[in-house]
């Protein structure tokens, strides 16, 4: 039998000693087996942005007309909001799984306590749950991206990179979501999740351009994670790609690093105290 993977020196300084055994994929496999019997819970989450696309893009869009895209080229309203809804799909799938489901397993099912009786460590648990939330967000994004292709809302070959970008967005929101969940004490605290995600969905340029805001409000909006996701998706799906998009990518890389480290440390404090 091969010995468990030993973390490198940099990882030992960040993560708790003995917290990583290189088996996080086992957590993801367990989640996949569980959801094999609850596939409807995953499929249902895909339809919310689809309803928004039909109601806002195809319905309200007939009155709005065109809007300026990232490169100032005119876009139909449906083509303008679709990338934002794609980003929201990745966010919602990742956040839902890394918050509500993780909280139930942590506080009520006590699943992670049982896992720690095996060779799994706290970092395995954190990475495994974040990885499954990433898969769920990625599935939502893939489904919505396919719908955009069917309706002709992808106007550039750069749209092929929209799925990897959606996975990056889902990874970032899953990591931060799990880190935030580790601080929650009751179901009432989940009102804060809605308080964070709903305003982002409504105001982070999903439905209208940034220019409608005054300059002080623009600066606030530009700090929101979903804003960076929307701008990244909109640039890729319309072909308005430039070096400034690396700023959006870097934003999510930082989110991932912070989220994973905090989640691992918090699980270590909660489960091994």
Name the nearest CA neighbour of 97 among 136, 68, 64.
136
Compute φ and ψ for 131, nearest 5 degrees: -65, -40
Compute the distance between CA of residue 17 and CA of residue 2 in angstroms, rounded to an integer: 19
Tell me what pLDDT residue 206 has.
Answer: 87
Report the C-alpha gap between 116 and 104 in whole angstroms.
17
The answer to whether the pTM exceeds 0.85 is no
pLDDT for 4: 46
Q: What is the pLDDT at residue 173? A: 93
From the list 160, 220, 180, 16, the residue with the least C-alpha distance to 99 is 180
Structure token pair of residue 243:
């070096």
Residue 265: what pLDDT?
A: 86
Q: Write out the two tokens for 183.
A: 């601080």
Kindly write down the DSSP assignment for every residue of 133-186, as one continuous string: HHHHHHHHHHHHHHHHHHTT---SGGGGGHHHHHHHHHHHHHHHHHHHHTT--S
Residue 106 to residue 179: CA distance in whole angstroms: 12
Q: In whole angstroms, what is the distance from residue 104 CA to residue 254 CA?
A: 27
The pLDDT, as a whole number, for residue 227 is 94
Buried b / exposed e along 74-89 (16+ C-beta atoms within 10 A) = ebbbbbbbbbbbbbbb
Which stretches within the chain are classed as H helix?
9-14, 24-35, 39-52, 61-64, 77-96, 102-107, 111-115, 122-150, 162-181, 191-203, 215-221, 225-238, 245-271
Q: Give pLDDT tens digits along the chain (273 positions).
A: 444 444 444 443 444 444 555 677 788 887 778 777 766 666 666 677 777 777 776 666 666 767 776 766 777 888 888 888 889 888 888 888 888 888 888 888 888 888 888 888 888 888 888 888 888 778 888 888 888 888 888 878 888 888 899 999 989 998 999 899 888 888 888 888 888 888 898 888 888 888 888 999 999 999 999 999 999 998 888 888 888 889 999 999 999 999 988 988 888 888 776
């Amino acid at each position: 039998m091969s010995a468990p993977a030993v973390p490198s020196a940099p990882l030992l300084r960040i993560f708790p000693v003995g917290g990583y055994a290189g088996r996080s994929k086992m957590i993801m496999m367990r989640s996949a087996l569980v959801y094999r019997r609850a596939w409807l819970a995953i499929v249902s989450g895909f339809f919310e942005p689809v309803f928004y696309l039909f109601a806002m893009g195809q319905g309200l869009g007939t009155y709005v007309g065109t809007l300026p895209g990232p490169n100032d080229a005119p876009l139909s309203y449906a083509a303008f909001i679709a990338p934002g809804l794609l980003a929201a799909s990745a966010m919602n799938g990742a956040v839902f799984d890394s918050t509500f489901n993780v909280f139930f397993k942590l506080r009520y099912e006590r699943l992670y306590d049982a896992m720690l009786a095996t060779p799994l460590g706290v970092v395995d648990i954190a990475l495994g749950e974040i990885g499954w939330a990433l898969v769920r967000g990625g599935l939502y994004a893939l489904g919505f991206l396919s719908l955009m292709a069917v309706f002709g809302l992808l106007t550039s070959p750069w749209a092929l990179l929209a799925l990897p970008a959606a996975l990056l967005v889902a990874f970032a929101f899953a990591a931060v979501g799990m880190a935030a969940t580790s601080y929650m004490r009751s179901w009432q605290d989940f009102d804060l999740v809605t308080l964070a995600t709903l305003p982002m969905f409504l105001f982070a340029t999903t439905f209208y351009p940034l220019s409608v805001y005054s300059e002080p409000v623009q600066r606030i909006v530009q700090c929101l994670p979903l804003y960076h996701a929307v701008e990244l998706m909109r640039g890729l799906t319309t072909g308005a790609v430039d070096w400034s998009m690396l700023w959006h990518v870097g934003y999510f890389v930082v989110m991932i690093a912070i989220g994973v480290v905090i989640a691992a440390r918090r699980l270590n404090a909660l489960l091994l105290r």
